[in-house]
A and B are shown apart, each in its own frame.
Chain A
Amino acid sequence: MPGGPARSGAAGFVLFALPAAIVAYLVVPPLVLLVVSSFNSTADQLPLEGGAWSLANYVRILGSADTYVLLQRSLIYAFATVMIALTIAALLVWLIERTDLPGRNAVLGLIMLPIAIPAMAKAIGWSLLANPNVGLLNLLIRNFYQPEDGFGPLNIYSLGGIIFVSALSQVPSVVLMIAGAFRSFDPALEEAGHMSGAHWLQTQRLIALPMLKPALFAAFIYYFAYGLEDFQIPAILGMNAGIHVFSTRIYLATHPANGLPDFGLASSYSILLLVLAIILILVYRRMVRKAESYAVVSGRGYRPARTRLGRWKYLALGLIGLYVLLSTALPVLTLLWVSLQRFVTTPSIQALGRMTLANFADVLQKDQFREALFNTLLVAPIVATATMALSTLVAWYNARWKSPGATAVDFLTFISLAVPTVVLGLAILYVYLGVPVLRPVYGTIWILVIAFTTRYITYATRLMSAAIIQIHKALEEAADVSGATPWQVLSRITVPLLLPSLINGWMWVAISSLREATLAVMLLTPGNIVLASLIWSQWQEGSGYGSVAAMTLLTVGLTSGLMLMGRVVFGNALTVRSEGRRAGAQLGRESA
C-alpha cells in the first residue's frame, strides 16, 4: 500500500512488525538448530550437547552414493506426485468453477472428502487393497487375469504405488489452493479472446492459462517442496519395500532401533532439502515478480461465464466418480471393514458373520480417547485461527509493500516447509525445554498450537498470497486516498474480498491439525495427547488395526462435520465477498 506501515504508527506495528516477529519466533529457532546440528558431530549425543564443530555429517552424506539415489528418488516422487495432483485438481476445479456441470456444490463436497482422511489411513487402506499377495483389488483382477507368478498385478509397495496414493491425497489441498484463482477469473478476458476470433482451446492456452499461472505455479512449488518432505505415505508403503526418500531416511536416523538418534545426520539431510526449497522459492519469486499483471479482481463487477459441457458432462461426472471411488470410497470402506472386525482379514461370508462394533465400544470407553478428543477440539480451531490471521497479514504486506523486510518474512514462511516435520518437532522440543521462560509451555496443548502453526504457515501464506495477488491494488489505493487507515483497508476491503480463501484456508489448517500425527507424537506428553498422536501410537505398537480403524473413522466423521460446517459458512462468504467488492468499488468512486 502506498503509505506503508511506517506512515501508520501503531497500526503499522500491529499489522506488520508483530506478525513478522511472530513468524521469526516460530521459524528461526528450528532453522538455527538445524544448521548448528548439521555442523556438529551428534552421533550418540543430542544436538547442542557440546559436540565439536565439524563437516563430518556433510562429508558423510555427500560422499555416499546412497545420497544421490535418495535425491533422485525424492525428486521423482515429489515431481510426479505434484504433477498428477495438480492435473487432476485443475481439471476438477475447472469443471466446478467454469462449466455448467450439474450438482457442482455436491461435487465440490465429494472432492474435498479425502482431506478428512488421515494420510496414514489412506496408506493402510491401500496396502489392504493393492498388496500383491491378497490385496482385494488384486483378488478381483485375478478372477479375469492370472499373472504368471500368481502375485499382483497391482503392487502398492512400489514407487508408482506411493506416488499414486500421495497424489490422490494431495488433490483436495491443491483444489483449495487454486479454486480461488479459477473462481475470480474475469470472463471478460476470455470473451475478448473469443471476440478476436480465437477458438476455445486458444483462449484457454493464451488467456486463461497465463492468468492462472501464479496460482498453479504457487501450488506446484508448494506441493513439490511438500513432496520432498512428505513422510507418512512413503513410510507406510515404501519403507518396508526398501524404497526410501529423504523423509524416511531422516525418520530412521532419528528413530534408531537402539541407542540415541543421530540428529547430525538427520540435520544434514534436512539442509539438502532446505537448499532445494530455497531454489524453489527463488524460482517462484521470479515468476510472480510482476504480480499486478495477474490481478483479476477489480472494482468492476462481473458474472462468471460457464462453458457448456453438453454430452461431455457424463464423461466429466464419470471421471469425478472414479476419483471419489479411488480417493475416498475404497479407503474408507476398507477402514470400515477393518473397524468392524476384531482382526484384519479379507472379506468373506465367514468374516461377515464376525462383524462387530466392539472396536468402537473399546475406543469410546477409553479415557485416553476422550481426553484426546477434547484436546483435539481445542487445538484445531485455535491453530486455524492463529495461522490464518498471521498468514493473511504476511501475504498482504508482501504483496502490497515490497520491502526487503516483507520479502524476508515471506521467505521465512516458505522455508519452514523445508524443515522436515521430525526435525521441526525436535527443534521445538529443544526450544521449549531449553529456554527457561518458555518451559511452562512444554507438555501443554500450547506447544502443539505453536508447532502446528509453524508447520501450516507455509500453506496458508501461499494460499493467501495467491488470493491477494488477484485483487487489484487500485481497490485499496482508492481507500487509502480516501483517508482510510491500514486497518480499515484491511478489514473493509481486503478481508471481505479474501473471505472465501480465508475460510478455505481455515478449514484446511483446522483439518490438517486434526490429522497431524508426526508433530503430535514428537511432542507427546501426558498432558497433550490428541487424536492423531493416539491413533499413531496405536498403529505403531497397538494390538491391532481394528481400534486404529475405529478411531480413524471417528476422526473422519469429526473432520467431515467440520467441513460440512465450513461449506455452510463458505456459502455465506460468497455473499460477503461480493459485498467486499462492492465496498471497494464504492470507495473507489468516492476517491474519484
Chain B
Amino acid sequence: MRVQWSLIVTLVATAFLCSGAARAAPWEDLLQKLYPAAKQEGEVIFNTEREEEVGGKEGVAQFQKRYPGIKVTFNGLAGAVLPSRMVLEAKTGHVTIDAFRSDPSRAAPMVEKDLLLKIDPAEITEQPVQTFFDDRFFKLGDHITNFAYNSAFVPAAARPKTYEDLLNPRWQRRLILDARGGEIAHLLSDKVWDEAKFWDFVNKLKAQKPIWSTRNTEAMVKLSSGEGYVGTGSYAAIEELKRQGAPVDFLFLSPSLAQARGGAILRAAAHPNAAKLFLGWLLSPEGLKARDHYAVGTITPGTTLYDRVQAAGATIIYEKSIDQILARDDVANKITDTWGVLSTRKD
C-alpha cells in the first residue's frame, strides 16, 4: 500500500515538474503570438555589417529552429551608406531590406524622413528595453570602444592605465588611433574633462605620430601584427581575436564609452512581422545569449560582458539619449578636423 502511495506521489510530482518545465517563458509566449503572421511572410531581410552582431551562424540557426519557415537573409550594406540608400529606396517605394542593426546617429536621417516603424515595446519584449526616437529604434547592445594592447610587445606592467599614459614617449609611432576620434570624444562631450585639458590631450596625441586607421578591422590587424603596440578597438573585436589566439587584450581606460547599438524596422518593409519577430528574438534572453558569445550584447547581469566589465573595475559611460550621441559626434568631428587626417568637415 505504502509502495502504491509513493508511486502515485512520484507520478504526480513528475507530472507537475514536467508541466512546469514545458511551460513557456513569458518572452516565448509573447513572440509565439507574432509567429503565425511572420511565418506567412516566410523571410526577414536584415542588414548588418557582421553576422556576429546578431548571434552569428549559430544564433540564426537557433532562431530558425525555434521558428521554422522563416528564412533570415543578411545584407551587408555599410553603415555609412545605409541612411542614404534607405532614404532613396523609400522615396521610390522599393525597399529591399526589412530591418537593420546600426547606431542611433545612423538611424537619425531615417527618422527625420519618417522611414522607421514605431513599435510598441510590449509587442516584442516583456523586458524593459531602452528605445530611441519614440520607440522606433531598440537598443540591442553596448558596443564598448576603447583601447587595447599587444601583449607580445607590451608587458602587463607597462600597459597604459589612464588616458594620460597614452602620451608616454614609448608609444610614439606605436599608437594606433582611429582618425574619426570616436574613442575619446566622450571625455569632453560627457564632461569628464574640461575643454582646455581635452584639446591639449588631443593635440599631444597627434604629436605621438600615431598610426592612423579609419576602420576597426584595420586597427585590429595593425595591433595583432605588432605594427602598433597600443591602439583603439572595440571590445567585441578584441574578444574575437583573443579567441583565435592573438596576443591582444582590452584596456578599459576609465571611463570607457559604451556606444548604443540597436535595431529598427523600415516602415515600408516587405516582411514587417518577420522583422518584428526577429528583433524580438534578438532582445530575448536566448537572443542575448547568442550575441553575448560575440560580446555584442548588453552589459546586464548574467552576461560575460557584464562580468568582464566588473572584473576590470571599469567605469562605463552609457549612451542614453540621442542628444548625448549627437554631442559626442560633434566632438568627434572636431577631433577629426584637429588631427586633419580625414578632412571631411562641411564648411
Contact = CB atoms under 8 A, between A and B. Distances in A.
Interface stretch (A181-189, A295-303, A428-436, A477-485): A428-436
Contact of A541 (B83, B106, B216): B216
A239 B50 contact: no
A230 interface: no
Contacts of B87: 46, 260
Give chain A's interface secondary structure class: loop
A325 to B, nearest CB: 22
A242 interface: yes
A257 B333 contact: yes
Nearest to A135: B227
Contacts of A261: 80-81, 84
Contact of B174 (A133, A433, A526): A133
B66 to A, nearest CB: 19
Interface stretch (B70-78, B132-140, B155-163, B254-262): B70-78
B75 A433 contact: no
Interface stretch (A10-18, A248-256, A467-475, A560-568): A248-256
B97 interface: yes
A253 B347 contact: no
Contacts of A262: 346
Interface stretch (A107-115, A389-397, A542-550): A542-550
B246 A525 contact: no
B78 A541 contact: yes
Interface string B20-36: 00000000000000000
A538 B45 CA distance: 18
A541 B50 contact: yes
B76 A524 contact: yes
Contact of A258 (B52, B73, B97, B329): B329
Nearest to A136: B225
A525 B215 contact: no
A16 B72 CA distance: 47
A258 B106 contact: yes
Nearest to B218: A240
Interface string A44-78: 00100000000000001000001000000000000
B340 A541 contact: no
Nearest to A425: B81
Contacts of A522: 81
User: Which of the listed residues B91, B215, B346 has the most CB atoms from chain A within 10 Å of its own CB?
Assistant: B346
Interface stretch (B11-19, B206-214, B273-281): B206-214
A526 B333 contact: no
A544 B220 contact: yes
B80 A256 contact: yes
Given A252-B342, A544-B241, A133 B173 contact: yes
Contacts of B74: 368, 526
Given A240-B214, A253-B344, A262-B346, A430 B88 contact: yes
Interface string A124-148: 0000100111100000000000000
Contact of A443 (B49, B96, B173, B237): B96
Interface in B172-218: 173-174, 179-180, 182, 211-218
Interface stretch (A215-223, A339-347, A456-464): A339-347
A433 B217 CA distance: 32
A21 interface: no
A537 interface: yes
B237 to A, nearest CB: 6
B320 interface: no
A541 B215 contact: yes
Contacts of A527: 96
B169 interface: no
A260 B83 CA distance: 7
Nearest to A263: B84
B100 to A, nearest CB: 12
A539 interface: yes
B303 interface: no
B109 interface: yes
A345 B340 CA distance: 29
B343 interface: yes
A256 B225 contact: no
B225 A543 contact: no
Given A133-B173, A368-B74, A544-B241, A244 B343 contact: yes
Contact of B78 (A253, A346, A433, A537): A537
Given A60-B347, A525-B75, A540-B49, A255 B224 contact: no
A346 B245 contact: no
B94 interface: yes
Interface string B327-347: 001001100100011111011
A24 interface: no
A534 interface: yes
A527 B244 CA distance: 32
Contacts of A128: 225
18 contacts: A46-B84, A133-B226, A240-B211, A240-B212, A252-B343, A256-B344, A257-B333, A258-B333, A260-B84, A260-B87, A433-B88, A433-B91, A443-B94, A521-B78, A525-B96, A526-B45, A537-B76, A541-B215
Given A524-B75, A544-B244, 5 more contacts: A253-B344, A525-B97, A537-B49, A543-B52, A543-B241
What are the 4 A-B residue pairs with the smallest beta carbon separation, nearest first?
A541-B49, A342-B244, A343-B246, A537-B76
